[in-house]
Structure 1
């Protein structure tokens, strides 16, 4: 896999509402199934496109991105009161064991999916806490997103998560994306 990050010079592209055709707010929130007081993390939050969508349904969202420039873009667009910006690599999440009620990743799983990173996600999630990933699928045509050879398919993503200790509830390849729901 490529394990690269999104070019901050193209950050405006992350605010395109057509992204909802790949993962809607309703699909994401339904898979997270949060309680109003839950604390969740958006892993690879970028400019906050999906973070802002999830924020009204939880007590707190930690928007995690490895690139400080993405947080600058997020600030320029407005950060909801219940969102904290966290600059960190997913392999080095600054949360205690079981501190988060859930986590999600939209179109960034391919950027960080490694044994080390997924172990870190598992560590910070409460027992039974969901991890939801919508990402570009290796089974897709490559009409958008990264090159197909830098992607996982749903089966590979599920295997990586299972190897990290997650119980995979759903792993589906769709026309261009995958959708995975797993629990710590």
Structure 2
């Protein structure tokens, strides 16, 4: 992934329920608009905090993370039956073309953002499928999350996704984060 990955020795912090102040389960599930049999990928899944929330609404959920150690932590916690772990970078996903109905990232976009990753997402998400991105905003005050120089703005993110062939359905800035719903 891009600038850095989340430190394994701090993985327990990924289970902190206060994360919901940046993106609630209800908000994420609503933005994804999944069918019951959907194949969906959690991009930068870490310990599965949001994967656990989305899995009941999907047919198959792929917990994608570049760090195998994060998958070990997730397995220790317990995987839902419909979750498959995938150790891969976003720029080289092991899925067939148009395999995914949707994909999402929560606070990980800044770790993988780049032309190769966006092209790969356009390849694996089927036409009409959704990509939901909630991440730290470069326009935020920087009180939480990574430093602002490691972040992207809402404008940069929407422009990058449009350049990769996504249509922006919804884009909004919030105090420290942004949320984008895009359709391939």
User: TM-score of the superposition, structure 2-length normalised?
Assistant: 0.98
Does residue 140 (structure 1) correspond to residue 140 (structure 2)? The answer is yes
1:164-183 CA distances to partner (integer Å, 9 max, x unpaired)? 11111112110000100101
Q: What's 1:158 paired with?
A: 158
Partners of 2:4 and 2:62 in 1: CA distance: 21
Q: What's 1:124 paired with?
A: 124
Q: Is the 8 A contact 1:62 1:86 kept in 2?
A: yes
SS at match of 1:178: strand
User: TM-score of the superposition, structure 1-length normalised?
Assistant: 0.98
Q: What's 1:28 paired with?
A: 28
SS at match of 1:72: helix
What RMSD in Å do the two structures reach over aligned CA positions? Answer: 0.7
Q: Is the 8 A contact 1:155 1:171 kept in 2?
A: no
Provide structure 1 residue ranges, at least 5 long, that are not aligned to the other structure: none
Partners of 1:140 and 1:96 in 2: CA distance: 36
Partners of 1:121 and 1:53 in 2: CA distance: 22
Does residue 87 (structure 1) correspond to residue 87 (structure 2)? The answer is yes
How many residues end up aligned between the 2 structures?
183
Q: Is the 8 A contact 1:39 1:60 kept in 2?
A: yes
Provide structure 2 residue ranges, at least 5 long, that are not aligned to the other structure: none
Q: What's 2:69 paired with?
A: 69
1:75-103 CA distances to partner (integer Å, 9 max, x unpaired)? 11110000000000000000000000000
Q: What's 1:173 paired with?
A: 173
